Amino acid sequence: MPAKTGEAREPRTFTETARREQIVRAAVDTLAELGYADTSLGKIARTAGLSSVGMISYYFAGKAELMSEVVATVLATAEEIVAPRVAAESSAVARFRVYVEASLEWVAAHRTEAVALIEITVGSRRPERSDDMEVGATEIVADLVARAQTELASRRESSGDPGPESIAPHVVAVAVRGAINGAVGHSLRRRPGPGADPELAAEGARLAELFVRGL
Amino acid sequence: MPAKTGEAREPRTFTETARREQIVRAAVDTLAELGYADTSLGKIARTAGLSSVGMISYYFAGKAELMSEVVATVLATAEEIVAPRVAAESSAVARFRVYVEASLEWVAAHRTEAVALIEITVGSRRPERSDDMEVGATEIVADLVARAQTELASRRESSGDPGPESIAPHVVAVAVRGAINGAVGHSLRRRPGPGADPELAAEGARLAELFVRGL
Amino acid sequence: MPAKTGEAREPRTFTETARREQIVRAAVDTLAELGYADTSLGKIARTAGLSSVGMISYYFAGKAELMSEVVATVLATAEEIVAPRVAAESSAVARFRVYVEASLEWVAAHRTEAVALIEITVGSRRPERSDDMEVGATEIVADLVARAQTELASRRESSGDPGPESIAPHVVAVAVRGAINGAVGHSLRRRPGPGADPELAAEGARLAELFVRGL
Amino acid sequence: MPAKTGEAREPRTFTETARREQIVRAAVDTLAELGYADTSLGKIARTAGLSSVGMISYYFAGKAELMSEVVATVLATAEEIVAPRVAAESSAVARFRVYVEASLEWVAAHRTEAVALIEITVGSRRPERSDDMEVGATEIVADLVARAQTELASRRESSGDPGPESIAPHVVAVAVRGAINGAVGHSLRRRPGPGADPELAAEGARLAELFVRGL
DNA sequence: CATGAATGAGGATTCATTCAT
DNA sequence: TATGAATGAATCCTCATTCAT
């Protein structure tokens, strides 16, 4: 009975950690391939090369916990890529631009993970931390947007150009997040199956430019 | 033996049409409430007030056909709203702007249908006409974008202002579609349950402005 | 989706009623043969001669509902036997005596049902109406005891004999119920397997006499 | 490789004995709390604070052996209390009376153990020594009853009072055992959860009086 | 001594579909 | 037209047991 996660941080043995990772990876693949509705523990077990479905139940307290772990794991890898690149920029506008670019690059390189994330977010009604994730992401973007707008406004002010009125950061943030997710879906429709999509990465700069102009 | 297909256009009697509509409506409600994964024919039947599941099987060849019908029906009502408003505009930029506004207005007024649509699109991997729908919608938007960009370019040319380079219409289109769908998801997270979301409608103009600036 | 019982009194078709009875009967037999812990829907289905376990789920909302139905059904047949015989007596002491005798006669003739009842009562922690049943039965007996004691007291009073102090009706009632259930268990240990136990019926009069003396 | 049997009387090391006791205690608690049907080795292990289920399998040959041990252990403690008190009495009637009182006192003080015992006896059909135990107990009581009846008869004879006919000792014994077990069940229904039930102890004298009158 | 890994069977339940009426 | 009966697969999960370390 190892699992039980969420409550206490029990020490994890090596094999347990390895197995959990293996299962999470298989879950990601299965979600991306079949969609949330057709993803069952049995299919995941088969994908993982496990003989019994019970093995998953042995390492995870239930389907919900597995899905939560998938969300947490995938989000962590995404943040690992995006966050430092954003932090490295010195101007607010650059930070916003890099967020969009880096997000699309991550999504291009980890399309499978991105699809899995979206599947869980949309497919599952019970909030398994995935709602929080989209909410959290949107708030982060809204903050980036607000700062970029302030920066732009002060630049214009010094040049005597009033410029157009700012669009509510929150609206821009929702649009940005939607555009990123939409790009993933579009990519999957254009080029089904697993693997990266270089075209997607190339869209990053253009998408960033699109939104920067809109600020 | 009525239904059975979506291909052969058999004449439909009155009660048959009524029943199908009733079932489709129940399917939409159920999808929006429970999500694709938890939507079963049984649940739909209960929502519809039908005592037997067999009734659905009687009018629809299978779950897939019902889902296809849901997609088709919902899409039709959306187009009914958006298309004429777009057509009524005289300039290409106005048409693009109105597309975004009208889309968000429809989505605000028919949130349940919009959610059902997204659920089917994302939740199920078997293409039940919903992929075609998103592909088609994106193409339409791309066309609107391209024409608006041309119009803007010719205006600038006549004023001697070269202006910034245009962003690939296709990229903009994907972003627009994604932003619209994202707004729906966000609205649902912000205000769960059925019913319209006025806040959503109010975002339309701002979202449109955002993208027009980006053109 | 016929079942759903407990909430509304839906009309029952003939086959449905018949099937439910068949399943309840099989459940009683299985409970008596294997004990609560080893009684599964699968075993019940096999006993009932049903090919699929799903059939039970089709007619009962769940295992709990089936168990409740078993309790209700068995209790009803017991009451049908015992209640009128008790009511037919004119004196309170006779009513108490007949309650014990009739109870043991029912238990002797329907040993299987009696065992099933005890199995559910003891084996299941969630109160599926079976706790209420034992509580209710005990209260009824306590009432019979109290009235019989009053009657005996008034008889003694008229003869000038004070007699011994009365034992709390509630204690007697618990003892009576326990003795009846204990007799069932003992009978099963003495003569395992299904079928009636005439010896048990014969014990009724003696058991009744035992408790009447104790009043 | 210690346990493995209940037959061979291998010498037990200290830790082994301690572990077995710990597990048995946990089994008793779990049985009383969840009932036989919901008691699994896993639950017992958790109750015992053991991290692995395998630990139980290491010390007991199987679930059956553990249950047998539970029965044996609990019975031993009960006998330890009841037997000497019975033996201390000089008259047969007093011995019978004290048996009932002491039994209820033990049951009141060790309600958890008593419930566990009943759970195993009733819940499981495979005779795990628990049948023998109830059979044996009944025989002991029957003997006490017979001797008490003889004693009473000889007393009456010397006073010239024929008195009522004796009730078969065996019937009385079954009733007594049933009443004791019934009192436990009733106590649990009245006051769920673990811990002693003083009310139960108080019933002992009244229950004893009830049966003595009946002799 | 003790643990954790692994397995395979069996648990209840839900579901889409077919069929007879 | 419509209903309810029936089926069998598939779902998630729990369990007792065995095994290697």
Q: How high is the pLDDT of residue D8?
A: 41
Q: State which residues between 17 and 76 of chain D bring their CB within 7 Å of strand E.
A: 19, 50-55, 57-58
Q: What percent of chain D has pLDDT over 90?
A: 75
- Asked if the structure places residue B142 within a domain, the reply is yes
Please, what is the average pLDDT of chain B? 90
With distances taken from each CA to the C1' atom of nucleotide F2, the closest residue turns out to be B55
Residue B168's region, left for phi above 0, alpha for psi from -120 to 50, else beta, is: beta
Q: What average pLDDT does the segment C162-191 reach?
A: 93
Stated length of chain B: 215
Alpha carbon distance B100, B92 (integer Å): 13
Alpha carbon distance B29, A49 (integer Å): 38
Which residues of C touch chain D, with CB atoms under 8 Å apart?
33-38, 118-119, 121-125, 131, 134-135, 138, 164, 167-168, 171-172, 174-183, 185-186, 189, 203, 206-207, 209-211, 213-214
Measuring from the CA of residue B58 to each C1', which nucleotide is nearest? F2
Q: How high is the pLDDT of residue B11?
A: 61
**pLDDT classification of B125: cutoffs 50, 70, 90:** confident
Please, what is the average pLDDT of chain C? 91
Q: Is A36 exposed, middle or buried (0-12, 13-18, 19+ CB in 10 A)?
A: buried
Chain A closest-CA separation from residue D42 CA (Å): 8
Q: For residues C168 and D117, is the Cβ–Cβ distance under 8 A?
A: no
Q: How high is the pLDDT of residue A171?
A: 96
Alpha carbon distance D123, D74 (integer Å): 17
Taking contacts as CB-CB distances below 8 angstroms, the residues of chain D near A1 are: 42, 45-46, 51-53
Q: What percent of chain A has pLDDT over 90?
A: 77
Residue C193's region, left for phi above 0, alpha for psi from -120 to 50, else beta, is: left
CA(D42)–C1'(E4) in Å? 14
For residue D80, the enclosing domain spans 68-213
Q: What average pLDDT does the segment B147-151 reach?
A: 96
D93-120 confidence digits (pLDDT tens): 999 999 999 999 999 999 999 999 999 9
pLDDT higher than threshold 50 for residue A40: yes
With distances taken from each CA to the C1' atom of nucleotide F4, the closest residue turns out to be B52
CA(A76)–C1'(E5) in Å? 28
Phi, psi dihedral angles at C121 (to 5 degrees)? -60, -45
- Asked if the structure places residue D86 within a domain, the reply is yes
Taking contacts as CB-CB distances below 8 angstroms, the residues of chain C near D173 are: none
Which residues of A touch chain B, with CB atoms under 8 Å apart?
33-38, 118-119, 121-125, 131, 134-135, 138, 164, 167-168, 171-172, 174-183, 185-186, 189, 203, 206-207, 209-211, 213-214
CA(C59)–C1'(F5) in Å? 10
CA(D186)–C1'(F15) in Å? 31
- Asked if the structure places residue C209 within a domain, the reply is yes
Cβ contact (<8 Å) for D34 and C213? no
Of A22 and A51, the one with more pLDDT: A22
C49-78 confidence digits (pLDDT tens): 998 999 999 999 999 999 999 999 999 999
CA(D55)–C1'(E11) in Å? 24
D16 touches strand E (CB under 7 A): yes
- Asked if the structure places residue D89 within a domain, the reply is yes
CA A42 to chain centre: 25
- Asked if the structure places residue C162 within a domain, the reply is yes
The secondary structure element, H or E, covering residue B13 is none
Number of Cβ within 10 Å of residue B11's Cβ equals: 6
C100-128 confidence digits (pLDDT tens): 999 999 999 999 999 999 999 888 876 65
Alpha carbon distance C146, D203 (integer Å): 17
Q: For residues B194 and B115, is the Cβ–Cβ distance under 8 A?
A: no
- The residue in chain A having the minimum alpha-carbon distance to the alpha carbon of residue D51 is A1
Q: What 3-state DSSP class applies to A11?
A: coil
Q: How high is the pLDDT of residue A44?
A: 97
Alpha carbon distance D151, A78 (integer Å): 89
A117-169 confidence digits (pLDDT tens): 999 988 887 665 666 788 889 999 999 999 999 999 999 989 888 888 999 99
A53 touches strand E (CB under 7 A): yes
Q: What average pLDDT does the segment D133-146 reach?
A: 93
CA A37 to chain centre: 19
- Asked if the structure places residue B130 within a domain, the reply is yes
Compute the C-alpha angle A36/A37/A38, nearest 5°: 95
Taking contacts as CB-CB distances below 8 angstroms, the residues of chain D near C37 are: 36-37, 123-124
Chain B closest-CA separation from residue A102 CA (Å): 16
Q: How high is the pLDDT of residue B8?
A: 41
Q: What average pLDDT does the segment D160-185 reach?
A: 93
Print burial letters for B142-171: b (CB count within 10 Å at least 16), e (below 16): bebbbbbbebbeeeeeeeeeeeeebbbbbb
Number of Cβ within 10 Å of residue A155's Cβ equals: 13
Nearest to A173 by CA among D190, D159, B186, D145: B186
Taking contacts as CB-CB distances below 8 angstroms, the residues of chain D near C124 are: 35, 37
Chain A closest-CA separation from residue B94 CA (Å): 17
Measuring from the CA of residue A63 to each C1', which nucleotide is nearest? F12
pLDDT higher than threshold 80 for residue C146: yes
Cβ contact (<8 Å) for C38 and D189? no
Show the tokens assigned to B28.
């939409």
Taking contacts as CB-CB distances below 8 angstroms, the residues of chain D near C36 are: 36-37, 122-123
The secondary structure element, H or E, covering residue C51 is none
Taking contacts as CB-CB distances below 8 angstroms, the residues of chain D near C123 are: 35-37, 119, 122-123
pLDDT higher than threshold 70 for residue B23: yes
Of C145 and C4, the one with more pLDDT: C145
- Asked if the structure places residue A104 within a domain, the reply is yes
CA(D165)–C1'(F16) in Å? 54
Alpha carbon distance C36, C44 (integer Å): 11
Alpha carbon distance B3, D111 (integer Å): 65
Q: How high is the pLDDT of residue C123?
A: 82
A61-109 confidence digits (pLDDT tens): 999 999 999 999 999 999 999 999 999 999 999 999 999 999 999 999 9
Q: How many domains does chain B have?
A: 1
Least confident piece of the model among A9-23, B94-108, C108-122, D143-157: A9-23
Q: How high is the pLDDT of residue D7?
A: 42
CATH of the domain at B201: 1.10.357.10
- Asked if the structure places residue D2 within a domain, the reply is no
Compute the C-alpha angle D124/D128/D129, nearest 5°: 130
Taking contacts as CB-CB distances below 8 angstroms, the residues of chain D near C178 are: 178-183, 185-186
Of B10 and D179, the one with more pLDDT: D179
Nearest to D69 by CA among D4, D6, D12, D111: D6
